[in-house]
Amino acid sequence: MEYSAKDLLRLTQHGDRKALARAITVVENELPGYDSLLTALPASHIPVIGFTGPPGAGKSTLISALLRTLSNAGKKIGVIAVDPTSPFNFGSLLGDRLRMAEHFNNPHVFIRSLATRGSLGGLSEKIIEVTDVMRSADFDFIFIETVGVGQSEVEVAGLADTTIVVVVPESGDEVQALKSGIMEIADIFVVNKADREGAETLVNNLKKMMHHPKTEGWTVPVVKTVASQADGVLELIEKIESHRMSAGFNDKKYYLLTEKVYQLIRQSRMKDINREKIRLELKKVVEKKDFNLYLFADQFKK
């Protein structure tokens, strides 16, 4: 049975997870009615929590521990796991994703994987729309886990109300490199696998770097966790709630909305640009003596 966009949205708002899954598919693949669905989305204040950090930091294990604690407390959580390949090919989801497998049948948890589809950073090009569709449901939190490579770590800051950067003691030598990249986007730092050697040194180094307030009323905390044992999870939840209540949370809201509008406009204007067509056209002219990259690009700007 096919539902209209209005029906899908109504069912989603009333907790129908099949309707939510269908609504996400409609939006992700731009199926008939997707634009009507998006323009009918209500304003939502469900907090979006982004998790990023280097591969191997234990993001999925940490999210799994948070899901266990929050769902046991009766909270409902939607999870968007951004995958670098296919969102439906379990071959590509083995490993990190399976660490959340215990929650697949949990009625309080909804997990959806999205493909990056070759987008320049590490986030799916439809991540803004899919996140807002999920925010129309009856969740208490939306979690987004990035693939943790390249630009995705910075991109998630333009999407999440609270950005959590997860590092491990082995990251100690990389702290200076992090400082020029993802250090600025962290609202909360998590040192995971904190039972390992070097954890205390990393925590102290991060605290020294983050001791100045990031925004009015918010100094970035550093939380120690051992996600596999759920150690530190309650403290992390408390910091997430504290950030939501801070003045800095509201300051970030306007930046987030500006960034989302900018990305939506850019995607719309780039919609007719086809990389394969560019490649084929390049092959025809690139060897010519008078080839000029900028003149070539101009034909696609019109």
Question: What's the confidence (pLDDT) of residue 141?
Answer: 97
Residue 93 vs residue 159, higher pLDDT: 159
Question: What's the confidence (pLDDT) of residue 234?
Answer: 97
250-272 burial, b for 16+ CB within 10 Å, e for fewer? Answer: eebeeeeeeebeebeeeeeeeee
Distance CA 177, CA 183 (A): 9
pLDDT class of 94 with cuts at 50, 70, 90: very low
The pLDDT of residue 72 is above 90: yes
The pLDDT of residue 108 is above 90: yes
| CATH code assigned to 43-269 | 3.40.50.300
The pLDDT of residue 28 is above 60: yes
Average pLDDT over residues 241-252: 84
Locate tokens 């040194």: which residue?
201
Nearest Cα neighbor of 260 from 104, 123, 74 is 123
Average pLDDT over residues 115-141: 77
Helix (H, G, I), strand (E, B) or coil at 185: helix
Residue 218 vs residue 49, higher pLDDT: 49
Nearest Cα neighbor of 190 from 234, 222, 161, 231 is 222
The pLDDT of residue 217 is above 60: yes
Full-model pTM: 0.84
Distance CA 128, CA 261 (A): 10
Residue 257 vs residue 234, higher pLDDT: 234
Distance CA 48, CA 79 (A): 10
The pLDDT of residue 191 is above 90: yes
The pLDDT of residue 228 is above 80: yes
pLDDT class of 188 with cuts at 50, 70, 90: very high
Cα separation values, 167 from 48, 170, 190, Å: 20, 8, 6
Tens of pLDDT, residues 174-187:
555 555 556 678 89
Question: What's the confidence (pLDDT) of residue 134?
Answer: 95
The pLDDT of residue 152 is above 80: no
What is the location of CATH 3.40.50.300 in the chain? 43-269
pLDDT class of 51 with cuts at 50, 70, 90: very high
Cα separation values, 169 from 52, 56, 173, 174, 239, Å: 16, 11, 9, 10, 21
Question: What's the confidence (pLDDT) of residue 89?
Answer: 44
- Indicate the pairing of strand 141-145 with strand 109-115: unpaired
Distance CA 17, CA 12 (A): 7
